[in-house]
Chain A
Amino acid sequence: DVKVTQSSRYLVKRTGEKVFLECVQDMDHENMFWYRQDPGLGLRLIYFSYDVKMKEKGDIPEGYSVSREKKERFSLILESASTNQTSMYLCASIALARGQETQYFGPGTRLLVL
């Protein structure tokens, strides 16, 4: 079974705080992704990584950074949280499903920035 876990289901932080969101997959996958999901906007790609220490910007990288020091772990960092970063954050990893590579998601982290 594909298993993607995220460190927290719910987080409340204050404006200006540094926030770490952790994602771990136990299937030795190379590709990992961070999205945020907001009502009316769907899922938007923040960053992705195709190997250890490799990262690529997605569609909305501003205000975020990432870290991939180990293959199984992909961290999303909000250097200085702002209220417009209140959102649902979803991590994903690539796996084979029905003969095609597709993405499996972690359970998500709901972040509230006050």
Chain B
Amino acid sequence: RKEVEQDPGPFNVPEGATVAFNCTYSNSASQSFFWYRQDCRKEPKLLMSVYSSGNEDGRFTAQLNRASQYISLLIRDSKLSDSATYLCVVKGNAGNMLTFGGGTRLMVKP
């Protein structure tokens, strides 16, 4: 079993739709959680951190469920520019090493 698992997609949604991605992680000692966004042929960039209480940044909402060991990302009112691959990232309790999921590809259509 992979340490961090995501549905690779693609998720094809119309503009304006709400879409949600889940990610599961296997290490119950994981401390920090992030969502990164990666555009085609570009480097990953931090989208948002995920806090235990859940957090929102504009149209994006991230949630953490420690009991079930998953994190989620909700995107409301999808824009064409949201088309990208979204990487779930987990940081353990030792050092600064991150473990990346394989990414979920989102395609927003007009």
Residues of A participating in the B interface, judged by any CB pair closer than 8 Å:
31, 35, 40-43, 45, 48, 50, 58, 90, 94, 97-108, 110
Q: Is the CB of B97 within 8 A of A106?
A: no
Residues of B participating in the A interface, judged by any CB pair closer than 8 Å:
8, 32, 34, 41-46, 48-49, 87, 95-98, 100-103
By a CB distance below 8 angstroms, the chain A residues around B96 are 31, 48, 50, 94, 101, 103
By a CB distance below 8 angstroms, the chain B residues around A106 are 43
Q: Is the CB of B42 within 8 A of A108?
A: yes
Distance A94 CA – B102 CA, assembled complex (angstroms): 21
Q: Quick one: which of A50, A98, A105 contacts B45, CB cutoff 8 A?
A: A105
Q: Is the CB of A100 within 8 A of B32?
A: yes
**Given A42-B87, A43-B100, A48-B97: A98 touches B44 (CB 8 Å cut-off):** no
Distance A45 CA – B43 CA, assembled complex (angstroms): 15
Distance A34 CA – B48 CA, assembled complex (angstroms): 22
**Given A42-B87, A97-B49, A102-B34: A90 touches B44 (CB 8 Å cut-off):** yes
CB distance from A24 to the nearest CB of B (A): 15
By a CB distance below 8 angstroms, the chain A residues around B49 are 97-100, 102
Q: Is the CB of B103 within 8 A of A105?
A: no
Q: Is the CB of B46 within 8 A of A97?
A: yes
Q: Which of A43, A104, A106, A110 has the most CB of B within 10 A?
A: A43
Known: A103-B96, A106-B43. 15 other contacts (CB 8 A): A40-B102, A42-B103, A45-B97, A50-B96, A90-B43, A97-B46, A97-B49, A98-B48, A102-B34, A102-B49, A104-B46, A105-B43, A107-B42, A108-B41, A108-B43
